[in-house]
């Protein structure tokens, strides 16, 4: 399918950057426009990585939850049974994988909130969440002050 | 009159605001005549409030004058849901202190005139420089600013908040300020969270387990940073953004400025890092504490910052905030690693 989603994102960013931005003179709209362009570029880079990321995260969470007896062996193998998403796919987001990811993360959240689980036993979950944060495809690191995330007021 | 930012390029919105300002000032200043408001310009600083600068020309008792002013108005969407009454009360109270704070001329707390809660304040000379500590100024000058910032932080903590009536305005934590702060930000998180975030649950669990009792209560700014100060030449001319000020643990603001994720704003590599800041703070205050107490506030700062980010994320999803925010994975990583160390 041409132009691919990624090609369309790249073109959109290029047009905004080279055609629209020079014509925007007001500072605030320009800052916001820069943010939109950055976001399109981030999406272009991240989109192809999302299926593989979700597959990895879902499998890892199933394993962690199984260690706590929170998922059955059958569910643990669930991701494998469904097969790995095509990481080269242009249509990057798999709604099923994303729904599963949210469901599994909710169960993980319930688990870490359980008072009957010792802190020491949560160490593998903490390690997974650190690893997940490192791999997260839509990982925008802000620059202050106009960038994503840094301003508290 | 509520406007989203996307429409602010339309001239009539600024014109409506001008007229609303004129009416507010006219209503609140019975002796004033010939009130004229210059065109409004929106400044780019301040993501949780709209800031509009303008000149007021007027005559009071026959004497003409021009006042450069700034209007701070609540936008439809924001990074923070804060109480404009608190900010007004804090600014009025601190006008009696030695702290450099802007003077509030008029307020429209209910948004009767300006469409949403608003304050009109004097413009203070100076520029906002987020990265003054790591910008092009010579090291010696930056070090003077670093020490001045810490002195101002300590000055805030030395404010006689009881005498100024800030206890009744802001409330005094009945339990540990740490637990109070956790409860407050958990409530904010519950309001804005749009997906499961076990990272924040895990950090919340750690924070609850390790929360300490405060050794004393002080005024806390809540978002102390160079970006919330104005610099005029080589001096700090104003401390801004008091909307999250509260009574709490003095280590909260110290933990905020020594939070590793904000080092680029608050620290100077090799010269003004956490150890230097803590040493200087101890020397200037005589206040002692153990490192784990400060670490708790570092972790809290990171956790709170993540909640602020997801507030922006939620406001964006709802179409009330004109920036695109992402899940703060970069913060989660640092947060969880801090707990580990």
Quickly name the fold that domain B5-122 has: Phosphorylase Kinase; domain 1 (3.30.200)
- Residue A52 to chain B, least CA–CA distance (Å): 17
- B323:A32 CB<8 A: yes
Question: What pLDDT is attached to residue A115?
Answer: 85
- A133:B336 CB<8 A: yes
Question: What pLDDT is attached to residue A69?
Answer: 84
Rounded distance between C-alpha atoms, residue B209 and residue B211, angstroms: 6
- Residue B247 to chain A, least CA–CA distance (Å): 18
**Contacting A residues, span 95-114, partner chain B, CB-CB under 8 Å:** 102, 105-106, 108-109, 111-113
Residue extents of the structural domains in chain B: 5-122, 132-340
Asked if the C-beta of A149 comes within 8 angstroms of chain B's C-beta atoms, the answer is yes
**Contacting A residues, span 33-72, partner chain B, CB-CB under 8 Å:** 35-36, 39, 42
Rounded distance between C-alpha atoms, residue B75 and residue B142, angstroms: 34
Residue extents of the structural domains in chain A: 5-48, 50-135
CATH of span B132-340: 3.90.1200.10
Rounded distance between C-alpha atoms, residue B253 and residue B297, angstroms: 8
Res. A83 pLDDT band, cuts 50 70 90: very low
Ranges of residues in chain B whose predicted pLDDT is under 50 = 1-10
Question: What pLDDT is attached to residue B2?
Answer: 32
Contacts of A101 in chain B (CB under 8 A): none
Backbone angles phi, psi at B17, to 5 degrees: -65, -40
What percentage of residues in chain A have a pLDDT greater than 70? 76
A93 pLDDT exceeds 90?
A: no
Q: What is the mean pLDDT of chain A?
A: 82
Of B326, B328, B331, B341, which to mutate for an interface test with A (greatest number of A Cβ within 10 Å)? B326
A90 pLDDT exceeds 90?
A: no
Contacts of A138 in chain B (CB under 8 A): 326-327, 329
Q: Which residue has the higher pLDDT, A77 or B288?
A: B288
Q: Which segment of A56-60, A108-112, B126-130 scores lowest on mean pLDDT?
A: B126-130
pLDDT, tens digit, 9 for 90 and up, residues B86-111? 889 999 999 999 999 999 999 998 88
pTM: 0.86
A51 pLDDT exceeds 80?
A: yes
A127, closest residue in chain B (CA to CA): B336
Six-digit token string for B67: 């006042």
Question: What pLDDT is attached to residue A85?
Answer: 46
Residue contacts between A and B (CB atoms, under 8 Å): 122
Average pLDDT rounded to a whole number, residues A86-99: 63
A15 pLDDT exceeds 60?
A: yes
- Name the residue among A49, A32, A40, A35 with its Cα closest to residue A14: A40
pLDDT, tens digit, 9 for 90 and up, residues A20-35? 999 998 877 888 899 9
Contacts of B84 in chain A (CB under 8 A): none
Q: Which residue has the higher pLDDT, A46 or B61?
A: A46
């Amino acid at each position: 399918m041409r132009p691919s989603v990624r090609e369309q994102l790249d073109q959109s960013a290029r047009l905004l950057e080279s055609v629209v931005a020079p014509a925007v003179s007001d500072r605030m709209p320009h800052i916001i426009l820069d943010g939109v362009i950055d976001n399109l570029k981030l999406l272009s880079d991240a989109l192809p990585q999302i299926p593989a990321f979700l597959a990895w995260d879902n499998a890892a969470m199933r394993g962690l939850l199984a260690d706590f007896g929170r998922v059955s062996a059958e569910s643990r193998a669930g991701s494998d049974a469904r097969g790995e998403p095509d990481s080269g796919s242009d249509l990057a987001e798999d709604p099923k994988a994303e729904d599963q990811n949210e469901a599994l993360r909710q169960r993980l959240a319930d688990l870490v909130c359980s008072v009957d689980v010792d802190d020491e036993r949560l160490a593998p979950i903490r390690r997974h969440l650190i690893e997940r944060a490192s791999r997260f495809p839509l990982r925008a690191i802000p620059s202050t002050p106009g960038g994503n995330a840094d301003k508290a007021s | 009159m509520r406007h989203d930012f996307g429409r602010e390029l339309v001239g009539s919105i600024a014109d409506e605001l001008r007229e609303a300002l004129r009416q507010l000032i006219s209503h609140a200043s019975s002796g004033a005549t010939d009130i004229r408001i210059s065109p409004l310009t929106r400044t780019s600083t301040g993501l949780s409030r709209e800031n509009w600068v303008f000149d007021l020309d007027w005559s009071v008792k026959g004497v003409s004058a021009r006042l450069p002013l700034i209007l701070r108005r609540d936008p439809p969407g924001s990074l923070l849901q804060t109480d404009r009454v608190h900010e007004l009360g804090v600014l009025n109270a601190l006008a009696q202190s030695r702290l450099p704070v802007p003077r509030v001329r008029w307020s429209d707390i209910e948004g009767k005139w300006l469409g949403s809660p608003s304050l009109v304040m004097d413009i203070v000379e100076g520029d906002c420089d987020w990265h003054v500590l790591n910008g092009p100024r010579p090291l010696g000058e930056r070090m003077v600013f670093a020490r001045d910032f810490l002195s101002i932080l300590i000055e805030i903590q030395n404010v006689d908040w009881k005498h100024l009536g800030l206890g009744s305005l802001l409330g005094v934590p009945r339990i540990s300020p740490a637990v109070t702060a956790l409860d407050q930000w958990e409530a904010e998180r519950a309001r804005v969270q749009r997906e499961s975030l076990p990272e924040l649950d895990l950090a919340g669990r750690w924070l609850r387990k390790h929360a300490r009792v405060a050794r004393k209560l002080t005024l806390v700014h809540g978002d102390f940073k160079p970006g919330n100060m104005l610099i005029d030449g080589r001096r700090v001319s104003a401390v801004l953004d008091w909307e999250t000020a509260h009574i709490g643990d003095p280590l909260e603001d110290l933990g905020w400025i020594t939070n590793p994720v904000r080092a680029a704003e608050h620290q100077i590599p090799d010269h003004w890092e956490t150890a230097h800041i803590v040493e200087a703070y101890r020397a200037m205050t005589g206040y002692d504490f153990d490192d784990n107490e400060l670490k708790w506030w570092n972790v809290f700062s990171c956790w709170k910052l993540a909640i602020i980010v997801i507030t922006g994320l939620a406001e964006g999803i709802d179409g009330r905030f004109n920036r695109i925010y992402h899940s703060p994975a970069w913060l989660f990583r640092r947060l969880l690693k801090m707990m580990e160390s």
